[in-house]
Chains A and B, each alone.
Chain A
Amino acid sequence: MTEVLPKDTIRCDACPVLCYIKLGQTGACDRYANFNGRLVRVDPHILLDRAKSQGAPLVPFLEREGEWDGALMKSKDTFVTAIGAGTTYPDYKPAPFIISSEVEGVDMVTVVTEGIFSYCGVKLKIDTDRHLGPERNLVRAQGEPVGHVTTAEYGSQMLSIGGVHHLTGGTKNEGRVTCETLLYLCNGKEVALTIDDGAQITVAAGKAPVVNGQAEERMRVGCGSATIGMFAKLWFGKVDEVVVVDDHITGVLSEHQAGKMLGVRETGIAIQGRRSTAGRYFQVAQPGTGWGGTNISDPLSILKPFKPKIAWPRLRLLMVSTTGEHFAYYELNESLRPVEKQLPEQLQESVARIRENCEPALTTVLFMAGAGGSLRAGATENPVKLTDSVKHRLTRVTSGGAPAYVWPGGGITFMVDVSRMPEDAFGYVPTPALVAPIEFTLKKTDYAAIGGHMDYVRPLDDVLREKQHQRQLVSLPENPWPLKPDTEGDSRK
């Protein structure tokens, strides 16, 4: 049934108030307006301004609110993000903004919407060798389970936080705390987490992790064995034996292939733990937050007595962790027991070299979510066509203008580095679920071919004219320009 409305009046269906709005007026919310007979949203809405040059300063978001004149801005250098764009409600409506613009002679369309994600979470990569907790153990925030420890990566511990089971599958409080934790992590804020039978950590995207109250500074350069291989030459002739203590593989210079090649003499050293191959030992100690990600605070505890037939008094021994953070220097006494001495100057360089080769330890946060059928229906009448178009790389997916990696296979499951997105790009609804921006950019001809809502496509200039509720930011220089027709490579060249 079609309602008969007075001339120039439209009925807003953005919320249950269902306002009648006359031409040029706004509804009760002051957010939706009747603009030339069309319902438009006039909320603060984030636009990205293309960084002018490759060398744009890394002050990522220069806010020019209030002094911006949309007319002066070159529209081709503007990308409308989904941050603040609003969502589709009810779900069968076209996305809030479907914008056409011409880029390098090609007509492009960007479908802009904020998605409400129950199927979402973050993967935390925490650059530390310290043992955070056994794999599969629960990660808790405010006592509530919000995730778990997952497979460790090279030099990093990995946590999986969020997901539909914590958001909606547990108690109400578990859902709320999970949602809050995700929101904080995604918006770059600090979160305190505890791991069952493990560490207490404080993490925030792009910052050094704090493990049991201690800030992590550096990532290890390699395992203990690799460290021996890399720095053997620096040690040769300056010290008789080096042990690089590591939770994974502890390396011993005199037994290691690199030491043998240089002609390092046997020392009669004996190491706790399981010998793997020459000069490489597994499980020298339990995992922990001490030396090299082990639980030891006294490195001598991993040594058995030196073999008296081989070792000699005044034998020089360096023990060092894989990050160079921990080190100790010993000389054997007459009874072949190590006695700690000050690190000789000639060895300080090698320890410093290990340290400088370790990159700054960071926590990085990847947001991961799946765009459901209803969100996709906001882009096209036939949601699967959007999926196909993304798979065939005809459609680019961005989140707040940041590039998203789309996981192969069915659906549109994407990952994005939250630190490449504008600040406070995420919101939440108390369902609980996260609100995240998502934009689909494709050629106009391709958009028509997948059954796009062509009647709702608006020129970019038209959107920019509603400038009073828009906020303009400068795009991050490391992000490819989302509107560039070619999907490969950096766009600003």
Chain B
Amino acid sequence: MRERATIRFLPDGHRLHLNDGPIDLILDADGHQAEIRRAYLAAAARFVTILEELCAELPLLRRRATHSAELPVSPIARRMADAVTPYCNQCFITPMAAVAGAVADAVLATMTEVACLRRAYVNNGGDIALHLAASENYTIGMVERPERPSLFGTLKVSSGSPVRGVATSGWRGRSFSLGIADAVTVLAETAAQADAAATIIANAVDLPSHPAVLRIPAREIAPDSDLLNLPVTRGVGPLSAAEIVRALKAGQSVADELRSRNLIHAAALCLQGRVRITRNCRDGIRSLTCHSELSTEPAFRSTIEEHLCQK
């Protein structure tokens, strides 16, 4: 048996940190102690088999999604494929675009199946699956630059809204982006859906063939990238205000389209200090509010710290 995953409590003794190869999760749960324990144990037991499962189908998961593509077998891989299929006609996308969110969803589902929890989240490198019992909520901070502890906004997700997934994509993140957004944060019903949509919207925040944007074929950086030799963004020079607005508008029109197709519930797009948000959010979602300073609310802070330490 492979013995490589490590599972430990973070120094606060409450949040659990699970790592296995590139999968890095932070879990938190509120509820009775015994329920939390049960949830953590179930999460740990589920977690240790995930990497093997996904690696077994890795070649398939790195292939471009199409309506007629062979479907993967493992449940998480299936979630990934399902999350990206809605986009397969409009652009190049592989199931890997939803891997982080799909893993977060699967681990959260394992926890809530065995335990009765007030609130819980699984944060997979900034792609977060949420559980909220009636009249509970989470406040989540959004970060545009992973290396900088400042927020471009906060969002509040309450139990009444259908949102249970939050994901962020951008060229500064761990995964490659075809666009120039610093960060696009998406709210959707699942983390896998949010993950895939954030990728699509971040790709659309773009200024094609702009000289200030450095693009490199993906495989020149990572020889096994699923993006083949598509040009991925590796640097963005200073842009004029008009250019920033143009790029954000391009992204926003895609975000609005996804919202009208019920693929997402809201999105916040961030480029060089400017933020755009999808119009008229649905009932139950508090609109994204922008802050220039860190809030001091404790729950809020810890989410940000996690978000940062994941990057």
Contact = CB atoms under 8 A, between A and B. Distances in A.
Interface of A: 6, 9, 14-22, 25, 27-31, 87, 89, 116, 176, 183, 187, 189, 423-424, 426-431, 433, 435
Contact of B22 (A9, A28, A431): A28
Contact of A15 (B13, B20, B41, B44): B20
B24 interface: yes
Contacts of B24: 29
Given A20-B223, A22-B223, A25-B222, A429 B21 contact: no
Interface of B: 1-9, 11, 13, 20-22, 24, 41, 44-45, 47-48, 51-52, 55, 58, 174, 220-224
A18 B48 CA distance: 17
B4 A29 contact: no
A423 B47 CA distance: 25
A31 B174 CA distance: 12
A427 B22 contact: no
Q: Which of A17, A183, A428, A431 neighbours the largest number of chain B CB atoms within 10 Å of its CB?
A: A17
Nearest to A190: B13
A430 B221 contact: no
Given A16-B21, A22-B221, A423-B11, A30 B3 contact: no
A427 B11 CA distance: 12
A17 B24 CA distance: 14
Given A20-B222, A429-B5, A430-B5, 8 more contacts: A15-B4, A15-B20, A16-B55, A17-B21, A22-B222, A30-B22, A30-B174, A429-B6
A428 B8 contact: yes
A189 B13 contact: yes
Q: What 8 pairs across the A-B complex have the smallest Cβ distances?
A: A15-B21, A29-B22, A20-B223, A28-B22, A16-B55, A427-B8, A427-B6, A20-B224
A14 B222 contact: no
A17 B51 contact: yes
Given A14-B21, A20-B223, A25-B221, A430 B48 contact: yes
Contacts of A27: 22
B45 A430 contact: yes
Q: Which of B7, B22, B24, B51 neighbours the largest number of chain A CB atoms within 10 Å of its CB?
A: B22
Q: By DSSP majority rule, is chain A's interface helix, strand, loop, or mixed?
A: loop
Contacts of B4: 14-15, 87, 89, 429
Nearest to B99: A28
A17 B13 CA distance: 30
Contacts of B5: 429-430
Q: By DSSP majority rule, is chain B's interface helix, strand, loop, or mixed?
A: mixed
B3 A433 contact: yes
A31 B4 CA distance: 14
Contacts of B222: 19-22, 25, 28
A435 B58 contact: no
12 contacts: A6-B223, A9-B223, A16-B51, A17-B21, A17-B55, A18-B55, A25-B222, A28-B222, A87-B3, A426-B8, A429-B3, A430-B45
A334 to B, nearest CB: 60
A27 B21 CA distance: 9
Contacts of A176: 41
A30 B2 CA distance: 21
Contacts of B9: 187, 424
A16 B224 contact: no
Given A15-B22, A429-B6, A424 B11 contact: yes
Nearest to B223: A20
B22 A89 contact: no
Nearest to A24: B221
Contacts of B220: 22
Contact of A17 (B1, B22, B44): B22
A28 B54 CA distance: 14
B292 to A, nearest CB: 23
A20 B223 CA distance: 6
Contact of B3 (A29, A426, A431): A431
A404 B41 CA distance: 31
Contacts of A429: 3-7, 48
Nearest to B6: A427
B8 A430 contact: no
A257 B41 CA distance: 60
A27 B175 CA distance: 11
Nearest to B23: A29
Nearest to A87: B4
Contacts of A424: 8-9, 11
Nearest to B96: A28
Nearest to A426: B8
Nearest to B5: A429
A78 B41 CA distance: 37
Contacts of B224: 19-20
Contacts of A89: 2-4
A292 B309 CA distance: 52
